[in-house]
Amino acid sequence: MPKPHPWILRDRSFNWGDRTYVMGVLNITPDSFSDGGRFNSLETGLAQAQELVKAGVDMLDIGGQSTRPGAQSVPVEAELRRVVPVIEAIRHSADAALQTAVISVDTTRAEVARAAVRAGADLVNDISGGTFDRGMLSTVADLGVPIVLMHIRGTPATMQNQTNYEDLLGEIISALKRQINTAIAAGVNANRIIVDPGIGFGKSYPQNLEILRRIPDLQALGCPILIGPSRKSFIGWLLAQPDPTQRVWGTAAACCAAIAGGADILRIHDGREMVEVSRVADAVWRPQRSPAAMES
């Protein structure tokens, strides 16, 4: 299977397969599962964005709508008020590294995607794979930005009641393939699509582990692969750890498994720790790009 086509976003190249790229989560919400309320203001959000960029993440993923299990939808106006000012503040920051950071907007709404890209976002991360808002895919095509298509069953409010699969990976791949084709038909560039199997979204704890074991199966889709295991409840289940902020080591293990399986992007909360995990894991599983290889 040939490597997906490289991307240029802002001033940086994303050469898929050469190394693992790290996406730092910035939830501008009062109710996200692991950090709800911590960054729910312009000041705290901007400070966390700066910390993530300083830690070495390759992109920021900014969201104003919680997608934790059981979460209810918020009005679009509230989502816009949370997300757009933070993106604008990043773009007007005096910190050059922050100002030029690659920004993803985590939304399922075309209106929010359009406003975020106008404010300075570079790509869209849609947990519904473009299915919640019928205008999303045509909007992304019109904006000319990349999109992450994630697999989910139901909505965040109902998804954990829909974990009955006969062929877990087969059904995930089939659904993602259908959404890729729908996106292309809507005008999205086929080389600007990322796929995400949706760990924690309509999957049981053992099913999340199966996805991590079978990441190579997703390469048949021909797109970069994003994996988001960070602080998820299946890690808490394995470790008997109810506090998501105390799941850093479990997240590190899941990230290593994802890298070993060929993941291209990791979506994480703990910037410095997972950047270091990625660098070491890349040196093991992608030795042609390790520091030792480049110095020899």
pLDDT single digits (tens) 2-51: 889 999 999 899 999 999 999 999 999 774 445 445 666 788 889 999 99
User: What span, in angstroms and rounded, lies between the C-alpha atoms of 173 and 155?
Assistant: 19
Question: Who contacts 110 (Cβ-Cβ below 8 Å, separation ≥6)?
Answer: 133, 135, 136, 138, 139
User: pLDDT digit string (tens) for 41-74?
Assistant: 788 889 999 999 999 999 999 999 877 676 677 8
Max intra-chain CA distance, the chain:
55
- Whether the CB-CB separation of 24 and 270 falls below 8 Å is answered with no
> 18-295: which CATH number, 3.90.1150.10, 3.30.70.960, 3.30.70.580, 3.20.20.20?
3.20.20.20
Mean pLDDT across the chain: 92
Q: For the chain, which residues make up each domain, given as ranges?
A: 18-295
Q: Rounded to whole angstroms, what are the CA distances from 19 to 10, 14, 239?
A: 18, 9, 29
Residue type, 119: A
Residue 292 pLDDT > 70, yes or no?
no
Residue 138 burial (10 A CB sphere; 0-12, 13-18, 19+): middle
Positions marked catalytic: 232, 267
Name the band, by pLDDT with cuts 50, 70 and 90, for residue 253: very high
Q: pLDDT digits over 100-157, tens only?
A: 999 999 999 999 999 999 999 999 999 999 999 999 999 999 999 999 999 999 888 8
